[in-house]
Amino acid sequence: MAKYSHESTFEAACEDGRLPGVTLVAADVTGKFKYKKAFSKYAYGEAIATDSVIWIASCTKLMSTVAVMQRVEQGKISLDEDVGRILPELNDLKVLAGFDGERKLEYEGRLLLTHSSGLTAPMFDPKLQQLAQFRGPPEKPLDPVVTEFSEPLAGKLVERISDVSLEEYMRVHIWGPLDMQHVSFYPDSISEVKARKIGMSGKDENGKLVPIDTIRTFGEKKDIYGGGAGFGSAKSYVKLLQTLCANDGNALKKTVDEMFRPQPSPEANTAFKTMILDWGLGGEIGTRDEVSRRKAGTLSWGGLPNLIWWIDREAGFCGTLFISVMLMGDELVNKLIADFELAIYERYEELKK
């Protein structure tokens, strides 16, 4: 097969040290079209493959969303009910809307799966940074997830409904059925996953790639963070994207359409009217076609170390880019994902013809 047009660009970016390594995987709903490619090595010097395991950060959210939707389908909870009966710790929480002139806090309501829960971290929210300045540092580090509230609590919701850990639930109901072999919240506890785990890279003051630790050592936490604690490979992760794209019933029986339906209220939509994105369950929704790339209605999201995934149901196509480097929102990565999509969609359209 002829070389794809994006591959030379990716190879060059890795060879000259701008990126430590990349894995790309894409597939259509029929399984007839498959693309998988790994480029270069990470700063640790480890060889990279499409089944290499990295910290997937917020890509974990899609798996947690599917877990919640499974319990919705089983009648264990509804999308519209107050989750306070299961997570009473949330009953007194509201979303921080801002501050008045006397530093009095102003609040509003909250949701979980639409990325409007209000449960976030100071590094992502100026309001929380300001609140931290007002209150000062905590007397001791916060630990349990229901106390810390630094991640959306969809995962904890599933655990309490199911009476098992999120690791066990996903292994039985998502990872196992979809043959996602190299995914875990505890990668060092599973030999096949540990053997494939790749370290994270960063850049020093001279712009040179260097090994770094993840920003959080989730394995030392007492709870599983359904919003960002997963580890996995692109090869495994794309299987979840593919089943949702196909809506084949292997992960969800009847709620996939709801995930792709815009969820914000009319008031919120008014605030977003100048944006080209809407919000579904588990990700953002593109509201217009990207020329020669994703179609309107595509669900997508990513992860802090420059991971990106998308599900384009109109085209019947999905894919992901996995990079384990702490350069959040890197301009080079944004350009490369566009190059990748243009090349992969072009070849996919040729195959369909």
- 74-111: pLDDT as tens digits: 999 998 887 778 877 766 666 555 555 544 444 444 45
Give 147's pLDDT tier (boundaries 50, 70, 90): very low
In contact, 48 and 200? CB cutoff 8 Å: no
Ordered by where they begin, the domains of the chain are 7-73+165-352 (3.40.710.10), 83-162 (no CATH)
Q: Position of tokens 């850990």?
A: 165
Pick from 212, 193, 181, 230: nearest CA to 58: 230
pLDDT tens digits, one per residue of 36-69: 999 988 878 888 999 999 999 999 999 999 999 9
Predicted model pTM: 0.85
Q: What is the torsion angle, in degrees rounded to the nearest 10, for the CA atoms of residue 274, residue 278, residue 279 and residue 285?
A: -140
Residue 93 CA, chain-centre distance (Å), reads 24
Main-chain phi, psi angles of 69, to 5 degrees? -65, -30
pLDDT for 105 equals 43
Main-chain phi, psi angles of 327, to 5 degrees? -135, 60
pLDDT for 273 equals 57
Main-chain phi, psi angles of 310, to 5 degrees? -145, 155
* Residue 72, helix vs strand vs coil: helix
pLDDT for 176 equals 98
143-157 mean pLDDT: 57
In contact, 314 and 294? CB cutoff 8 Å: no
In contact, 127 and 205? CB cutoff 8 Å: no
